[in-house]
Amino acid sequence: MSTTTAKRQGTPTSEVDRPGSHRQHEVLRLLPAPLLIIVLVFLGALVLIPVLYIFLASVNSDIGVANGEFWPSTVTFENYSKIWTSVGLANGLANSILVAGATAVVSAALSVSTAFVLVRYTFRGRLTILRGLLALQSVPGTLMVLPVFVLFSSAATYLGIQVIGTQWGLFVTYLTFAMPFSTWVMVTYLRGLPKELEEAAKIDGASNLGVLFRIVLPLSWPGIVVSGIFAFLLGWNDVLFASVMTRPESQTAAVALQIFGASQEGGAIPFYGQLMAAALVCAAPVVILYLIFQRYLVGGLTAGGVK
Amino acid sequence: MSTDASHEVRPVADSATGRAPGTIHEAGGQPGHKGGPRRKGLSERNRPLWMLIPGGVLMVIIIVLPLLLGIYMSVLNLDQYTLRKWVSAPFIGVENFVEAVTGSPLLHAVWLSVSYSLLAMVVTLPLGIAAAVATQNAFKGRAVIRSIFLIPYVLPSFVVATVWRTMLRPGGIVDGALGSVGIHTGLWLNGPQTFWTLVLVQIWASWPFIYLLALSGLQSVDHEVHEASALDGALWWNKLRYVVFPYLKGPLALAFLIGMLHHINNFTLPFVLFGVPAPADVEVLPILTYVTSFQSFRFGLSAAMAFVSLVLVAIPLFVYLRAVKLDDAETPGAKK
């Protein structure tokens, strides 16, 4: 449903948008032109100046950035060759991709089947689960981090399973915290799919699993991708759990960047150029994902928020 | 998990695509509902409820169990010495809560969290609405502008915080720019001004969220409404104020609640922006809870603080859950 609704809303009645229909444009106009330009320029500058700064500082020398230059006096790309070891970004990115990627795949798979049951069948406690999906997204991370940490250390003490410091601990944690939102995305998506196909398949003797794999899955790729991306972002962006539950070798990119950034203040020559280059590299996968799937993602965000 | 405010986006429930008859019936819903016995039978027989088990097990182990554990820990005298054998840590009742309220900066932290969240919200609302109103109508380059507007929202919080930390550093680019026009401000990352730094960066990071929801509200304005106000010759300001804004009330109320939850739960932004121990003026609730656990090792006390933050979050959350419609509209012939 997410995408269909978004599409419907995203193209406000085509005859209005047809180029050349000047009258229609006047009818829809919300702001006088000068004010419109002021708003666009102000907000555009608000966003683009810091973004431009990241780019420029990332190709500036460390000293240049430290001196407060906006335009680099010397353009150099050596920041980008240093950060892999100085920030530990090679290791961090590998861990981030591994953990967030695994979270995305498993979370998407689990949320499809969970949402399928929630949307297509009725049972006692169904509404409670739906409400729980929304409520769980607001549980403060800081509330959970200590008990989860204690639970994982107890697993080592009592069961002999070492979880803290490994990527497994992070993976399980992210997977769990990603599930409510991913499932909700799938619930809204599956609701928009026509039920008739599934009913026809059932009449032809398909099992529940058959319906899920042959009918629902092929139809819901856009929803699955969106739900997987949100799970990926949760893992990629987390600092709280990763800062507590990782060792240097299992550190994610977010923690590597945070530690590197925090350690610059005391140093004689702060490596700000490298810091900005590393920040840019950490942001790149997220921005690329967003650009590719922009239409679906935005649809997933606002779907249904209207009425 | 709400460690990261700017990226976690809540879906907004209440789907507008109410499919007419044939939607699922809620167990315990009104009997004799239109929908037909055949369909009802289909969804009630042979339910693969086992598919809920993997997710359910995860929820129980990683969320419900720790939640209970956290509440239990808040009544224990738990520090770095007793943590290893937390099961046998001494029970001290409400002492942690008493200490949290009387002997720690908890109340100050609650005040900071609420005031910073509200302040950021008060500024992001007009920014988001202005952006939505400005990009609602087609013009050349609108797609690019829309993508640009969403950049702050897409960037990971830890990247946003790292960049602003570098820009706001003493002698950094912000000081340089302000200094060149004769404004000399004090420190941004230390001292009393830090509170405003946090508010500013939060505003920069989260106004696009308001923009998104405002945009979806604008798109629900019927074309006839535009025509009617054009016929009446309404001035742009009156048209916005009396015709368009009423459509935004719902989405913006939702944005307000969700945004408040994000801000109150936001750990990453203050943590990366200021580091720990944070300046006293930005020791918001998540930071205080974290520091009490992982810097002072007062785990019991920290659990008590975390419990307070749960209560704080529960207020907007409760309103949100009440307002949201969980299921499809069951009414036959619901608006498609």
A108 and A130 fall within a common domain: yes
Residue of B216, B222, B292 to mutate for A, most A C-beta atoms under 10 A: B216
Q: How far is A200 from chain B (nearest CA, A)?
A: 11
Q: Which residues of A touch B127 (CB under 8 A)?
A: 43
Q: Which domain holds residue A48?
A: 14-79
Confidence band, pLDDT 50/70/90 cuts, at residue A15: very low
Among candidate residues A79, A104, A129, the one where a domain is terminated: A79
Q: Which residues of A touch B188 (CB under 8 A)?
A: none
Structural domain spans, chain B: 2-93, 99-330
pLDDT for B71-98, tens place per residue? 898 888 888 777 777 777 888 888 889 8
A73 and A138 fall within a common domain: no
Q: How far is A260 from chain B (nearest CA, A)?
A: 10
pLDDT for A140-162, tens place per residue? 888 899 999 988 888 887 888 88
Task: Give the mean model confidence (pLDDT) for residues B141-152.
Answer: 89
A58 and A103 fall within a common domain: no
A73 and A45 fall within a common domain: yes
- In-domain check, residue A233: yes
Residues pairing with B91 in the sheet? B76
Task: Give the mean model confidence (pLDDT) for residues B226-230.
Answer: 81
pLDDT for B256-289, tens place per residue? 988 999 999 999 999 999 988 888 889 999 999 9
- Does the distance separating the beta carbons of A143 and B310 come in below 8 Å? yes
- Does the distance separating the beta carbons of A13 and B55 come in below 8 Å? no
| Number of domains chain A is built from | 2
Q: Are A245 and A263 in contact (CB under 8 A)?
A: no
A152 and A252 fall within a common domain: yes
What is the pTM assigned to this prediction? 0.84
- Does the distance separating the beta carbons of A294 and B135 come in below 8 Å? no
User: pLDDT at position A24, please?
Assistant: 65
Query: In this complex, how many residue pairs, one in chain A and one in chain B, have their CB atoms less than 8 Å apart?
Result: 393
- Does the distance separating the beta carbons of B65 and A151 come in below 8 Å? yes
- In-domain check, residue A1: no
A216 and A246 fall within a common domain: yes
User: pLDDT at position B103, please?
Assistant: 85
Confidence band, pLDDT 50/70/90 cuts, at residue B13: very low
Q: How far is A227 from chain B (nearest CA, A)?
A: 11
A275 and A193 fall within a common domain: yes
Greater pLDDT, A204 or B28 = A204
A273 and A190 fall within a common domain: yes
* Lowest-confidence pick of A281-285, A294-298, B158-162, B196-200: A294-298
Residue of B6, B7, B15, B263 to mutate for A, most A C-beta atoms under 10 A: B15
- In-domain check, residue A5: no
Among candidate residues A23, A52, A79, the one where a domain is terminated: A79
- In-domain check, residue A119: yes
- Does the distance separating the beta carbons of B327 and A127 come in below 8 Å? yes
What is the residue-averaged pLDDT of chain A? 84
pLDDT for B39-53, tens place per residue? 444 466 678 888 889
Confidence band, pLDDT 50/70/90 cuts, at residue A302: low
Q: How far is A248 from chain B (nearest CA, A)?
A: 17
pLDDT for B156-207, tens place per residue? 999 999 999 999 988 888 888 888 888 888 788 888 889 999 999 999 999 9
- Does the distance separating the beta carbons of A143 and B10 come in below 8 Å? no
Q: Position of tokens 């750990």?
A: B267
A65 and A146 fall within a common domain: no
User: pLDDT at position B211, please?
Assistant: 93
A19 and A149 fall within a common domain: no
Res. A1: pLDDT tops 60: no
Greater pLDDT, A51 or B42 = A51
Q: Which residues of B touch A174 (CB under 8 A)?
A: 1
- In-domain check, residue A27: yes
A115 and A247 fall within a common domain: yes
Rounded to 5 degrees, φ, ψ at A246 are: -120, 155
CA distances from B270 to A135, A149, B13, B23 (A): 24, 22, 29, 45
A43 and A90 fall within a common domain: no
Q: Which CATH class is domain B99-330?
A: mainly alpha
Among candidate residues A79, A110, A126, the one where a domain is terminated: A79
Q: Which residues of B touch A100 (CB under 8 A)?
A: none
